Amino acid sequence: MLPKLVDVLGKPKKSNSYVTAKFNDEDIKFKNSWGKYIFTKEEIDLLSKGEPISFTYKGATITGRLKKQTYEGHEYWGFSPDERKSINENNYTFAEINGEKIKFKINGEVIFSQNQKFKP
């Protein structure tokens, strides 16, 4: 009988590993991932230098950089997306209302009035 892969290689490493870096003369640590996306070595190097990175996640282009953040009173360093550059155009639709072009997020069926429905 052949051995199981986990018996040969061991359990996979958690994706929530931390990376240590010198950032603006401060020793910091941050997760090597954002959501289920795991940063490449090159992306970690750029983030450690304060540079922005871009990657595709769930169909959207995410652009951001390391930032000191606070969650429930706890300060930490982590990847912070620049929302203005992270819009997934596939989740939005465009329309013209009263001569003005608008963009809005699609969350299923859109009802403009009792008698009109718009399905993207």
The set of residues, in sequence order, having a beta carbon less than 8 Å from that of 59 and lying 6+ positions away, is: 88, 90, 91
What is the pLDDT averaged over residues 105-110? 58
Burial of 79 (0-12, 13-18, 19+ CB in 10 A): buried
pLDDT, tens only, 84-104: 544 555 566 667 777 777 766
Q: By C-alpha distance, which of 85, 21, 76, 71 is closest to 50?
A: 21
Mean confidence (pLDDT) of the chain: 79
pLDDT, residue 77, reads: 95
CA distances for 54 relative to 11, 68, 73, angstroms: 30, 19, 28
pLDDT, tens only, 44-79: 999 999 999 999 888 788 899 999 999 999 999 999
Most distant CA pair in the chain: distance in Å?
72
